[in-house]
Structure 1
Amino acid sequence: MMKKSMILYVLLAFTICGFSQQTGNLRVEPMFWWAGMKNPNLQLMVHGENIADTKVDLNYPGVALTSVTRVENPNYLFIDLKIAPEAKPGSFTISFLSKKKTVASYLYELKAREPSSALRQGFNPSDVIYLITPDRFANGNPDNDAMPGMKELPNRADKDGRHGGDLRGIINSLDYLHDLGFTAVWLNPVLENNMTRTSYHGYSTTDFYRVDSRYGTNDEYRELNDELDKRGMKLIMDMIFNHCGSEHWWMDDMPMPDWINNYPEHKITSHRRTVNQDPHASEIDKREMSDGWFVPTMPDLNQKNPFMANYLIQNSIWWIEYVGLEGIRQDTWPYPDKDMMADWTKRVLEEYPNFNIVGEEWSLNPAITSYWQLGKHNADGYQCYLPSLMDFPLQHAVSSGLSTEEGWNDGLIQLYEMLANDFLYPDAENLVVFPDNHDMSRFYTQVGEDADLLKLGLAYFLTTRGIPQIFYGTEVLMSNPGTDDHGIIRSDFPGGWPGDAVNAFTGKGLSADQQDLQNYLKTIQNWRKGQNVIHTGKMKHFVPQDGVYVYFRYNDKDAVMVVLNKNLESKNLVTERFAEMMKGYQSGTDIISSNQITNLKSFSVPARSAMIIQLKK
């Protein structure tokens, strides 16, 4: 007779993972797969008491059992299958035999793929991405704030506690985001983080195949993507290959001794990420960076272990196919084994050629960042297949350039000089550009709580080369004055909870400045949607002079002139210096103010403001 805990486990498996049949206390991951994948190989990780003592048997047309690997822990088996192109969607039983008797079985399903899944279009420069920390955005279902089996209970008064935001709250808010002109949503991790404390951020995964029940269910995650699709919007999943949470289920029963680096006496990483590029780096320095734990509650996964590497790669492909993702943001890019990361990106792009992946390499040096991008010819011969990176160098240049006085090396020249480094990148147009994110002070705080400077920065990020990303709450001047505490930076979005005095979704209680910024973003972003000249056009910029920076986005048909005036007074801009870009154009419209410019030879640029001028012949 099953124990009560076993019954609960099986019911949970049926509900969340779509299990069709399960006999015995087995965990099989991935729990189902798809017929018709380009890569025919599939490796199942099976966990169950003394499962290694059994013999594996299955019989299904087009599915071949190629190998069964037993490892140091007898509670694991790794089963390798080859799925032929002619294999049909359907289910088959995997039997586990002892003395010729079935002691456990699992009904495995090959699902049918969506017809267009392999050709899914990833996020690209036509998009503007809205970054959300789910726990802090909107509580659409208060009933899931505390869930059975989840260790950390809700406490909205605790800046580091769980506040109750969830997938339902995001689904309910999609019209708001669509109206503002956003075309893609990136969520900080939503997978289970069943940690004792400080689990809201999502970066301590305890189950790689399950959405945290305080956010919702796997089905709701798919529903979110479906609702985004209806609005022509895209979903980007935040993934972490470098580490898991210290309370992950396998930490009590790991498959093999080298599953986790530096276990059980963990060592913290040196964080010296440049060892990946340094031609003089010692081997011990490389190990101390890549094999060290990020923090004591985040065990470092050993991607050199081929079973771990395959587990992570298949998990990412499973989520792409299951949810219908259009992109992945990969956390802590330079920390895992870099050869495995190259293999991962290659395998994902082989399966989904139009997909996009952006990596987090938090370096202010573009020579370091560019090392990882697809197409880069590196001196050490290393080749990665990562299409996109977060452009931290440009973010820092903009923040500093807007916050410092104009000088030979300071001010707007910092934007110009950083962009001049684009020759280092194989594809600078595919970088993700951003004023801030969940790990740094909000941009409004970075520029001294100056709404005009914030607007200048936003106008720049929305019109420069690359793919813009905006952090939730930027549109209503969310800030973190006097602290860089992450719990404050990731404060609750106003209006996301019943009873909030201020509601950004409806406009209730917003100040005039907050409403003005919402309209500012809405104007630029909705204009940007239809502008191929911004999405795919070239860029030419001119050395800033007297606190004014001018650049153009252009193609064979159109041209847009962007003017950033950082001065405290208006400037009369004489355009003779820009003649090479303005030849043939007679007038223009500033899309921010809707003002017509009939004389392009000179015109006034208001103080501390941007003009985005659609030129006309």
Structure 2
Amino acid sequence: MKKLIHLALIILISVSFSCQKETEKTQTSEVVTKVKNDIERIEPPHWWTGFKNTQVQLLVKHPNIMEATPSINYAGVSIEKVHKADSPNYLFLDLNISESTKAGLFNIHFKFNEEKELVQTYEIKNRLKDASDYQGFDSKDAIYLITPDRFANGDTSNDINESLKEKTIDRKNDYARHGGDLRGIIQHLDYIEEMGFTQIWSCPLLTNDMERSSYHGYAMTDFYQVDPRYGNLEEYQELATKAKEKGIGLIMDQVANHCGSAHWWMQDLPFKDWVNQQESFENNKPLNNSNHRRTSNQDSYASKRDKKEMAEGWFVPTMPDLNQRNPFMANYIIQNSIWWVETLNLSGIRQDTYPYPDKTFMSNWAGAIMNEYPNFSIVGEEWSTNPLLIAYWQEGHDNKDGYDSNLRSTMDFAMQKNMVDALNEDEKWDTGLVKIYEGLANDFAYASPKDIMVFPDNHDMSRIFTQLKGDVPNTKMALSYLLTLPRIPQIYYGTEILMHDFEKPGDHGLIRTDFPGGWQGDIVNAFSGEGLTDAQKDMQLFLKKVLNYRKSSDAIHNGQTIHFAPFMGTYFLFRVIEGETFVHIINKNEEPITIDLNRYEEVGLNGKTLINIITGETFKWQDKIILSERGSLLLTTKI
């Protein structure tokens, strides 16, 4: 009898325990049968499992949401802390997503009182690949920079969006929208691949709901929305996928420093310090705009006033300066960057106006991304021709103030200027060519020269053909030289067909001219070559040959760099690795000249046969070389 009672108790306890576990499972795994969207806005719009950092902070925007108590019943997801903002219309929720969390939908309940509750369905997704599999760009790549509104109009149905402020298309107006879009880039991936580019950097594609000049993309009014005039998120993802299939990575242009003045939050800012100079903005007082003294970031003598005006001033009156010292803003920007890396399978980020935000934050921002994606790449824009300032921002540089940027790549405005000055100067005692020779000699200042991005021009400066006064041989010398350096090269769309801004040099609207052939009815089509001049076709083919040779040149990617001081109006640069020597000769002489090759004996080319990568002609390296015309000579031992 005692045994029967004992057995019954065991069964009863077992059943009770089983029921309790089933109840707990039900309580922590609410089943979502219908998606609900009661809340005005939640950002990020979804998140993923499997990050090193298991925390994510949700921005919740809804009228009087401060009065609500949020709750979640989903296994592995918990609300760690609820933060109220200064505005009653915001909450910030700190979620913890444990390693055991399964992908799926769950509801966030916002209970106001016994009679009112709002529900928002949120999603946790599985990551498509491991973080270490995100491969960044490097010196093996060549980047094609595109201003999307001006490249190609692949879908005319999205040209005008009635819900946005700027509603016109006017190709005759350099500062209006012209209609280029994501579909236009997708349709011309074959052209980009055949030219020899391995990465695409597009100027921003997020919504710029500004009244005018919204085409450039840098006054963002929604950090999570693709501008509908460019297409939609699915098309952005399609671009990334189809580019990847062709071996082309996608670099996203991001802006941590500012937003557009029409950003949705500017009418109801979460905190009193969400943007810099917020009080002046809210009271319609004149704003103390940035003094643009970027050297205050490094200057040990800089006044507090100059540092403050640099970090907190608005870039321009229509671009409010984000306050990254606010921890919620800081989290917002970091999470936004990571969200786009995952969403688009990015190979890199180009960060606009890098020295303008709070520099401690920028180190934390880059550090957070690189910690999550160890093989990723980020390049920061530092518009300075001083190598000391460029070097300061690169990871690994020994800064006296101890600053560590966590930034792998910076932009080489110094070399760009040296090259233009050198080629424009009439040679006398080789003073022009000495500028690029000594410019490259400054590489000792950089922690990793080959991780710096070099370029002949971009969306903010005159086309290189304009800068070099319409001189074709000089333009070829500039392009081939930059593609030979121990650097990551970037070429702006249209540079390959000698696009220029002679009418108004430096005018941003004109610099960003439409790429011919990108619009139905264009008489000239640079994609097919129809209507191009002989000079344009020649330049396009020249660049195509250099880029495609560069793709497989280990000497250019990883070789030792040896250059010789300019001599008799010539400059010799060698890239050397076992099995391959690449030679780049710049010749500024108008008349034929003979150069004694014994000067370059140490490179070890004597008696070897080299091939001209442009003409295909062979040349035996012996006692002398006759340079018959001004321009570049590109030779390789790789037959």
Write out aligned runs for 1:358-369 (5 A): 358-369=379-390
- Give the aligned partner of residue 42 of structure 2: 28
- 1:403 pairs with one of 415, 424, 438: 424
- Give the aligned partner of residue 507 of structure 1: 529
- Give the aligned partner of residue 291 of structure 1: 312
Write out aligned runs for 1:293-312 (5 A): 293-312=314-333
Write out aligned runs for 1:117-516 (5 A): 117-153=131-167, 154-263=169-278, 264=281, 265=285, 266-407=287-428, 410-483=431-504, 484-516=506-538
Cα deviation digits, residues 397-450 of structure 1 (max 9, x gap): 001111111245831111111111111111110001100000000000000101
Aligned-partner Cα distance in 1 for 2:263–2:390: 31
**Is 1:40 equivalent to 2:61 in the alignment?**
no
Aligned-partner Cα distance in 1 for 2:275–2:570: 53
Aligned-partner Cα distance in 1 for 2:120–2:525: 49
- Give the aligned partner of residue 604 of structure 1: 626
Deviation at 1:83, TM superposition (A): 1.1
Aligned-partner Cα distance in 1 for 2:628–2:51: 56
Which amino acid letter does the alignment assign opposite residue 321 of structure 1? E
Contact 2:182 2:231 in 1 (8 A): yes
Aligned-partner Cα distance in 1 for 2:593–2:252: 44
Contact 1:117 1:324 in 2 (8 A): no
Contact 2:63 2:88 in 1 (8 A): yes
Write out aligned runs for 1:92-111 (5 A): 92-100=106-114, 103-111=117-125
Deviation at 1:135, TM superposition (A): 0.4
Greater displacement, 310-319 / 148-157:
148-157
Aligned-partner Cα distance in 2 for 1:530–1:118: 24
Cα deviation digits, residues 534-593 of structure 1 (max 9, x gap): 111121111111211101111233211111112212332221111111256522111111
Which amino acid letter does the alignment assign opposite residue 150 of structure 2? R
Deviation at 1:598, TM superposition (A): 2.0
Greater displacement, 194-203 / 146-155:
146-155
**Is 1:528 equivalent to 2:533 in the alignment?**
no
Which amino acid letter does the alignment assign opposite residue 58 of structure 2? L
**Is 1:559 equivalent to 2:581 in the alignment?**
yes
- Give the aligned partner of residue 89 of structure 1: 103
Which amino acid letter does the alignment assign opposite residue 157 of structure 2? D
Q: Secondary structure at the match of 1:192?
A: coil
Deviation at 1:101, TM superposition (A): 5.2
Q: Secondary structure at the match of 2:484?
A: coil
Contact 1:24 1:103 in 2 (8 A): no
TM-score (norm 1): 0.95
- Give the aligned partner of residue 70 of structure 1: 84
Rg bigger for which structure? 2
Q: Secondary structure at the match of 1:110?
A: strand
Deviation at 1:25, TM superposition (A): 4.0
Q: Secondary structure at the match of 1:552?
A: strand
Greater displacement, 595-604 / 388-397:
595-604
Contact 1:390 1:432 in 2 (8 A): yes
**Is 1:112 equivalent to 2:126 in the alignment?**
yes
Aligned-partner Cα distance in 2 for 1:407–1:130: 35
- Give the aligned partner of residue 75 of structure 2: 61
Aligned-partner Cα distance in 2 for 1:503–1:98: 61
- Give the aligned partner of residue 564 of structure 2: 542
Aligned-partner Cα distance in 2 for 1:121–1:604: 44
Aligned-partner Cα distance in 2 for 1:603–1:463: 21
Q: Secondary structure at the match of 1:258?
A: coil
Aligned-partner Cα distance in 1 for 2:391–2:173: 39
Q: RMSD of the TM alignment (CA)? A: 1.4
Which amino acid letter does the alignment assign opposite residue 497 of structure 2? V
Q: Which runs of 5+ in 1 are unaligned?
A: 1-19
Percent identity between the aligned chains?
48
Aligned-partner Cα distance in 2 for 1:358–1:184: 13
Aligned-partner Cα distance in 2 for 1:126–1:450: 29
Deviation at 1:22, TM superposition (A): 3.6
Q: How many pairs are equivalent? A: 598
Contact 2:453 2:490 in 1 (8 A): yes
Contact 1:585 1:616 in 2 (8 A): no
Cα 1:616–1:105 shift into 2, 3 Å = closer
- Give the aligned partner of residue 13 of structure 1: none
Greater displacement, 477-486 / 607-616:
607-616
Q: Secondary structure at the match of 1:189?
A: coil
Aligned-partner Cα distance in 1 for 2:399–2:175: 41
Contact 1:565 1:606 in 2 (8 A): no
TM-score (norm 2): 0.92
Aligned-partner Cα distance in 2 for 1:429–1:375: 13
Deviation at 1:102, TM superposition (A): 5.4
Cα deviation digits, residues 358-392 of structure 1 (max 9, x gap): 00000000001110100111011111100001100
Which amino acid letter does the alignment assign opposite residue 375 of structure 2? N
Cα deviation digits, residues 436-485 of structure 1 (max 9, x gap): 00000000000010111100001101111101100010111100014221
Greater displacement, 188-197 / 602-611:
602-611
Aligned-partner Cα distance in 1 for 2:604–2:616: 20
Cα 1:38–1:408 shift into 2, 3 Å = farther
Q: Secondary structure at the match of 1:104?
A: strand
Contact 1:585 1:615 in 2 (8 A): no
Which amino acid letter does the alignment assign opposite residue 562 of structure 1? H
Q: Secondary structure at the match of 2:444?
A: helix
Which amino acid letter does the alignment assign opposite residue 37 of structure 1? F
Cα 1:409–1:262 shift into 2, 3 Å = farther
